[in-house]
Amino acid sequence: MDARGTQLLLPDGMSGSAAADRLAALVPVVTERAYSIDRTFWESFDGRLQRAGLALAEAGGRLVLIDAATHAEQAGAEHPRAARRLLLEDLPAGALRDRLAPILELRALTPVARVRSRLLPINVLDDLGKIVVRLRGEQSAALAAGAEKIALRPRLHVVGVRGYDVDFDRVLALLTRELGLQHAPRPVLDDAVEVLGRPVGGTSSKLRIALDRAERADRAAVTILRRLLDVIEANTPGALTDVDSEFLHDLRVAVRRSRALQRELRGVFAPEPLRVFRDGFRELQVLTGPTRDLDVQLLEFGELAAGLGDGAAADVAPLRRLLEQRLVAERRKMVAGLRSERTRALIRNWADYLDALAGAPEADRPDAARPIADVAAERIGAVYRRMVKIGRAIDDGSPHEALHDLRKKGKELRYLLEFFSSLYPPEVVKPMVSTLKGLQDVLGRFQDREVQADLLRAVGDEVAAMEGGSAALMAMGVLVERLAEQQQQARAEFAESFAQFAAKPQRRIVARTFG
């Protein structure tokens, strides 16, 4: 049902009806009755709908997914309840949920703007009296806290009707040439979000850092770590209130990346403050670990249980209840920890330290003034070689810890490649990331199955004591066996993916590029 559409800005002093009057002199139009509408727009924290060219508006108890440019409805559903956040599973099954699923994945929707609009529908007709172009004058205001209204620039929506493209082009040309209307640079929702002081397009947790090869290593490190600190701070409120599980995930990834850089670029920091901060960041990682592990267990629970078949899948319900109870308890501990003065001081002091780093004495920071390209190359080369060494030592009899160690090093290498990709040729970095990703996928599967099986074994006694526990325990036994099979499968795939990662041509490229 896609239709073409655009938005034009109405100049000061020109209302929608004035535009309609001027247009009526040129083409047949029918103006309908104007109406007012209050809409609350929902969006994910990272602006996924905006990036997809969509907006989700709630009005009168109904959620409607619209094309942000044309405002054409894509799908709709009843608004499930007066919720402060909406996850996919909160939406009723149907077109809206189906349409949002691949866009949102695990992300929640929260209200980002309330907009009060006065809309004037104006229809352009053909010689049969049929609507061939829809216009809509819009005079809107963003509603800020305290019911303050902030007027937005009035605009005219121009929406084509399928199969009447010629009319659309004709009317658009009249509006722009004869009436002198200008195209609106962005949808009205973005204007509203901006005047309400929120980030247009959401908040990204991506790095997107461009460095200069000759840049001092400590300055480059500060650039990256400052960005990571921003990500930690941006995601903390959502992690505390559990808006969705991605806040905690992104927070933890930023902490892990920070730790990797603290470790790999240790020569740009003075040893003693670095030791204190590394301890602090390790604590932060430990503090958030159990909650994240349980989040993952519960997110994957459905898939895990589904493998048991219908009857047995229901048998593991006590396990789910137990995991949910544990999550509540662990989350409480995590929230207290994240809100503690100790954590707040860590973040505050780290920010202050980064701000002062570039001007700090260099006597005990041997890499501080070296070009970042040299320092980073050394570290990438060293971590790669270390991985090759660890991996070569792994055989069928190696303990799972050996594979886990390799995976941890792999994450470090991945982060280094992400931090410093702008310094090296993409034809070197991309294939390296690709083979590393293949290896990490195998190692990740191996490790995840290990963690899952460990958890099942660890909670066996507790589950057995619950109502319905005996059946659950038997089903869990089947699951542990299945996880062991999958882990064995991952182990069998390891040799091949490692061989690709450590192949001679790859080693030669690494040696040539990174030394």
Partner 1 sequence: MTPVVALYNIKGGVGKTSAAVNLAWTAAEQGARVLLWDLDPQGAASYLLRIKPKVRGGGSRLVRGKSDPAALLKGSDHERLDLLPADFSYRKMDLALDATKRPTRGLQRVIAPLAEQYDYVFLDCPPAISLASESVFAAADALLVPLIPTPLSLRTFEQLQRFVAQDVAGPRPRILAFFSMVDGRKALHRKIIDEVAASSDGCVLQAAIPAASDVEKMAIQRRALAGFAPRGRAVRAYEALWNELRPRL
Name the residues that contact partner 1, by CB under 8 A.
Answer: 1-3, 62, 72-73, 76, 95, 126, 128-131, 134, 161-164
Supply 370's token pair: 């070296």
Nearer to partner 1, 130 or 332 (CB): 130
Provide the minimum distance between the beta carbon of 129 and partner 1 in the complex, in angstroms, as a whole number: 6
Looking at the Cβ atoms of 162 and 389, the one nearer to partner 1 is 162
Cβ count within 10 A of residue 129: 9
Which phi and psi (to 5°) does residue 506 adopt?
-65, -40
- Looking only at the bridges linking them, the beta strands covering 73-78 and 155-160 are unpaired
CB of 135 to partner 1, least distance (A): 13
Nearer to partner 1, 122 or 473 (CB): 122
Q: Report, in Å, the least distance between residue 98 CB and partner 1.
A: 11
Check if the beta carbon of residue 228 is closer than 8 Å to that of residue 351: no
Which residue number, 5 or 238, has a Cβ lying nearer to partner 1?
5
> Could you give the dihedral angle defined by the CA atoms of residues 223, 229, 234 and 240, in that order, rounded to the nearest 10 degrees?
170
Can you read off the two tokens belonging to residue 425? 């040729």
How far, in Å, CA of 460 to CA of 274, rounded?
42
What long-range pairs does 450-453 form, CB within 8 A, spacing at least 24? Answer: 450/400, 450/404, 450/487, 451/293, 452/297, 452/300, 452/304, 452/479, 452/483, 453/480, 453/483, 453/484, 453/487
Whose Cβ is closer to partner 1: residue 128's or residue 363's?
128
- How far does the chain reach from its first CA to its final CA, in angstroms? 56
Q: Whole-number minimum distance, CB 99 to partner 1, in Å?
A: 11
SS3 505: helix
> What minimum distance in Å lies between the beta carbon of 123 and partner 1?
8
Beta bridge partners of 120: 137
Cα(436)–Cα(413) distance, integer angstroms: 8
> DSSP states of 439-492 as a string?
HHHHHHHHHHHHHHHHHHHHHHHHHHTSTTHHHHHHHHHHHHHHHHHHHHHHHH
- Shortest Å, Cβ 117 to partner 1: 17
Nearer to partner 1, 134 or 257 (CB): 134
3-class state of residue 54 by DSSP: strand
Residue 63 vs 442, nearer CB to partner 1: 63
Supply the minimum distance, in Å, between the C-beta of residue 130 and partner 1: 4
Q: Which is nearer to partner 1, 123 or 487 (CB)?
A: 123
Closest CA relative to residue 11, chosen from 143, 169, 183 = 183
C-beta of 379: minimal distance to partner 1 in Å?
Answer: 50
**Of the two residues 163 and 399, which places its CB atom closer to partner 1 in the complex?**
163
Backbone angle region of 315, left / alpha / beta, with phi > 0 → left and psi within -120 to 50 → alpha: alpha
- Measured from the CB of residue 184, what is the shortest distance to partner 1 in angstroms? 21
